Amino acid sequence: MTELLKTLCALPGPSGCEDAVRAFVLKKAKPYADALRTDAIGNVMVFRKGRKTLERPVVVCAHMDEVGVIVKKITDDGMIKFGFVGGVDPRVVIGRPVRFGEVTGVIGIKAVHLTTAAERRTMPKAKDLYIDIGASSRAVAEERVSLGDYGVFDSPVVEFGDGLIKAKAIDDRVGCAALLKLLEEQPPIDTWFCFTVQEEVGLRGAASMAYALDPDFALVLEGTTAADLAEVTDGKAVCHVRGGVVLPLMDGATIYDAGLFELLRDACAKRGIAWQTKTRVSGGTDAGRIHKSKAGVRVCAAAAPVRYIHSPSSVAAVSDCEAVLAAARAFLEDLRGDDE
């Protein structure tokens, strides 16, 4: 699971340009697929026949895309003006390296000694930042990048400390890694394993996937915000790294199905899988679109708590990532029922 996660996090895959991740997923999934589909928007849907056949399919899904940057303008002096792809806090990117394919650069901002007192009291915006790719002029820069090119944070994947991992795109390559590991086993029930696109810019891939498959139930595997830092007290921490898989009751896009939440919670509890829930209603997942598909879909979610999410250096615990996989496996087992 860890080595697979590290490989996935290293791949570039900003929303709308998930090609490298999709190619890797297809290669890994094909040997185990009873059916394999991709759609016009880029979702990958892999069916694996289980030991029990259901009238309507069950979906387990994770999104392939990550936050990134997109080239909006090239200045006369060869600098790149850009926009964020997905929700990124500008404070976490200043001085960080980025990559456009083989072209590397670094995100910069006006030097502090040139700023006004008012500017130093406000958070920078994307329009205040630029990417320096080392070009000496617009003409040189245009030989290396074009308007509309996608870029991603250029961050190494590192295991450190007491069982932690640092990487870009843990949200949601942790879910993709869990799906690929689940695909190696025959599931207890017929299951579609779906790798969606464009989650970070509006849950778009999930909408077309759910409409096409019309599942009975859906489990979303994710990375979710953990703010368990020094001096963050009470429920403001949301969830805790090393605290186990996060089973949310509600977020900004979904009220998760109570029955499925209880099934997932009990499945974890009886197997000794560490779990927690979120102490603050925030964020959203593909479930926000899936549950509204056609006549409605019952949804639940299992997520790894991730510090510094949507940044060049997200941090998660290996044990929590493994707990996401274990929770998903337990969910499918218990969804089958008692006629094993």
Q: Which residues are known to be catalytic?
A: 199
Cα–chain-centroid distance for residue 160? 21
Here the tokens at position 172 are 């949601």
What contacts 24+ positions apart, CB below 8 Å, involve 268-273? 268/244, 268/323, 268/326, 268/327, 268/330, 271/326, 271/330, 273/244, 273/245, 273/323, 273/326, 273/327, 273/330
Helix (H), strand (E) at residue 120: helix 117-120
N residues, the chain? 340
Beta-carbon contacts of 140 under 8 Å, excluding residues fewer than 6 positions away, are 78
Strand partners, 152: 99
SS3 content of the chain, % helix, strand, coil (to 5): 30, 25, 40
Strand pairing class (298-306; 129-132): unpaired
Cα–Cα dist 242/307, whole Å: 11
Q: Is 171 annotated as a binding residue?
A: yes
Q: Is 63 annotated as a binding residue?
A: yes
- The count of other CB atoms within 10 Å of the CB of residue 214 is 13
Q: Is 222 annotated as a binding residue?
A: yes
Is-contact 223 174, C-beta < 8 A? yes
Q: Is 240 annotated as a binding residue?
A: no
DSSP structural state of residue 240: -
Strand partners, 307: 315
- Quick one: how many helices (H) and strands (E) in the chain? 9, 17
The DSSP-derived string for 263-321 is HHHHHHHHHT--EE--SS-----THHHHTTSTT--EEEEEEEEEBTTTSTTEEEEHHHH
Helix (H), strand (E) at residue 71: strand 68-74
Residue ranges of the annotated binding site for Zn(2+) are: 63, 171, 200, 222, 310
Binding residues: 63, 171, 200, 222, 310
